[in-house]
Chain A
Amino acid sequence: MTPRGLVAAMLAPGVALALWAVLGAALFLGALGSSGTALRVAAGAALETHGMVLILWWLGTALLGAWLARRLYRTWVLAPSRLLAATRILAAQEDAVSLPDAAPATPATRALAAEIESLARDRNELRAEMAQLVEQASRSVAEQRDQLATLMDELDHAVVVCNRDGRILLFNARMRRLARNLSPQEVTELVGLGRSIHAVLDPAAIAHALETVDGRIARGVPPHSAVAQVVTATPLGHLLRISLAPVRHAEAEDNTLRGYVLLVDDITRDQQQQARRERALLRMAEQGRASIANMQAALEMLDYPDLAPADHDRFLGVIRDEVARMRDRLLSEDEPGPELAARWPLHDMLATDLMAAAVRKLQATANAPITTLPVAEDLWLRIDSFGLIAALDHLATRILSLGADPVLWLRLTRAGGHAHLDLGWVLREGLDPIDARDLSALPDEPTEACAAASVRDVVDRHGGEIWLDRNRDDGRPFFRLLLPLAAVETAPADAPIGGRPEFYDFDLFAAAHAEAGDARPLSALAFTVFDCETTGLDPLGGDEIIQLGAVRILNSRLLTGETIDQLVDPQRPIPEAGIPIHGIRDEMVRGKPTIAQVLPVFHRFAEGSVLVGHNVAFDMRFLKLKEAATGLRFDHPVLDTLLLSSILHPAEESHSLEAIAARLGVQIGGRHTALGDALATAEVFRRMIPLLERQGIVTLGQARAASDRSQFARLRY
Chain B
Amino acid sequence: MTLTVLIADDEPNILVSLEFMLRREGHRILTAHDGTEALDLIRRERPALVLMDATMPGLTGFEVCEAVRADPSIAGTRILMLSAKARPTDIARGLGAGADAYVTKPFSAAELLERVRGLLT
Contact = CB atoms under 8 A, between A and B. Distances in A.
B97 interface: yes
B63 to A, nearest CB: 10
A463 B105 contact: no
Contacts of A294: 11, 13-14, 17
B11 A418 contact: no
B86, B88, B106, B110: most-surrounded residue (chain A CB, <10 A): B106
B121 interface: no
B89 interface: yes
A273 to B, nearest CB: 21
Interface string B7-32: 00001011011101100100000000
Nearest to B85: A286
A321 B24 CA distance: 24
A480 B13 CA distance: 35
A290 interface: yes
B16 A314 contact: yes
A234 interface: no
Interface residues of A, number: 33
Contacts of B107: 293, 296-297
A280 to B, nearest CB: 15
A322 interface: yes
A599 to B, nearest CB: 50
Interface stretch (A101-109, A298-306, A343-351): A298-306
B42 to A, nearest CB: 20
B26 to A, nearest CB: 15
Contacts of A418: 88-89, 92
B109 interface: yes
B84 A480 contact: no
A484 interface: yes
A297 B108 CA distance: 7
A417 B16 contact: no
Interface stretch (A197-205, A208-216, A464-472, A674-682): A464-472
A296 B16 contact: no
Contact of B109 (A290, A292, A300, A463): A300
Contacts of A256: none
A49 to B, nearest CB: 128
Contacts of A318: 13, 16-17
Interface in B63-121: 66, 84-89, 92-93, 96-97, 104-110
Most central of A297, A416, A465 by chain B CB within 10 Å: A297
Interface string B41-57: 00000000000000000
Contact of A298 (B16, B84, B87, B93): B16
Nearest to A311: B20
Contacts of B89: 418, 463-465, 482, 484
A314 B17 CA distance: 9
Interface residues of B, number: 28
Contacts of A469: 96
Interface in A422-470: 463-465, 467, 469
Contacts of A287: 84
A415 interface: yes
Chain A's interface: helix, strand, loop or mixed, by majority?
helix
A292 B16 contact: no
B45 to A, nearest CB: 24
A315 interface: yes
Q: Which of B14, B17, B20, B66 has the most CB of A within 10 A?
A: B17
A5 B103 CA distance: 105
Nearest to B53: A290
A289 interface: yes
A285 B85 CA distance: 9
Given A465-B93, A482-B96, A297 B17 contact: yes
Given A289-B104, A289-B105, A484-B89, A298 B97 contact: no
A38 to B, nearest CB: 134
Most buried by A among B24, B96, B97, B110: B96
B13 A321 contact: yes
B96 A467 contact: yes
Name the residue in A286, A304, A418, A467 with the highest tally of chain B Cβ atoms < 10 Å from its Cβ.
Answer: A286
B10 to A, nearest CB: 10
B50 to A, nearest CB: 18
A293 B84 contact: yes
Contacts of A321: 13
A315 B17 contact: yes
Interface of A: 282, 285-287, 289-290, 292-294, 296-298, 300-301, 304, 311, 314-315, 318, 321-322, 415-418, 463-465, 467, 469, 480, 482, 484
Given A294-B11, A482-B92, 7 more contacts: A289-B106, A296-B107, A297-B109, A301-B17, A463-B87, A463-B89, A465-B96
7 shortest A-B CB distances, which residue pairs?
A293-B105, A297-B17, A293-B106, A289-B84, A294-B13, A300-B109, A290-B84
